[in-house]
Amino acid sequence: MAFKRTSEPLNIGTSVDLVDGTPGSQIVTLPLSSLDREVFIVTDIQMDTEALPVPAAPGTSILLASVNKIGTQVEGIDSPNCIGNLRRDIESTPFSSVFQESFHPQEQSTGASPDYLGIIATPNFTLAGSYSTTAGGAPNRKVYCRVTGYRARADADTYAALVTEEINN
């Protein structure tokens, strides 16, 4: 793949407000020029959420989120559309509560040309999320995301292949 860097690193932030039991998403437009065959090289992703409530009665609170090239559903890291995902859950029993968290990718890149997490060829990405509790009706929770990367110009064949791959997935 041939890429020529066309910008300095960019930090693009977004958030999505999640209602208990209702999936949500936020589409973010990238500053790309399709005429110049620009793509966005993602070097890092950071995600955070508001604190999850511990269920008062035995039950669970689960929050899932993902940064996707396309699509508004939460994706797992095994999907070619997913650049990063986050899972936080609390399970409460009459005796204790257990908190679990996973975030992928867990490491940050150096931002050097051969070191990146993903390539976005279409002019946007999506922060998708879902939040649910067994009791229902819990207050909304926000997911925050910062995607770091840079714009780059791709050669014609590479650009066509990347756009086709994103659209067909």
Bridge partners, 38 (sequence order): 153
The whole-number pLDDT of residue 93 equals 85
pLDDT digits (tens, 9 = 90+) for 3-35: 899 999 999 999 999 999 999 999 999 999 999
Residue 148 in this model has a pLDDT that exceeds 90: yes
Considering only CA atoms, which of 123, 7, 23, 31 is closest in space to residue 69?
123
The whole-number pLDDT of residue 20 equals 92
The whole-number pLDDT of residue 101 equals 85
What residue type is 138 in one-letter code?
A
The whole-number pLDDT of residue 95 equals 84
Considering only CA atoms, which of 74, 66, 57, 155 is closest in space to residue 118?
66
Cα separation, 86 vs 102, in Å, equals 6
Considering only CA atoms, which of 148, 120, 116, 135 is closest in space to residue 14?
148
Report, as an integer, the average pLDDT of 62-78: 94
The whole-number pLDDT of residue 159 equals 93
The helix (run of H) or strand (run of E) holding residue 49 is strand 38-49
pLDDT digits (tens, 9 = 90+) for 110-122: 655 557 889 999 9
Report, as an integer, the average pLDDT of 34-46: 94
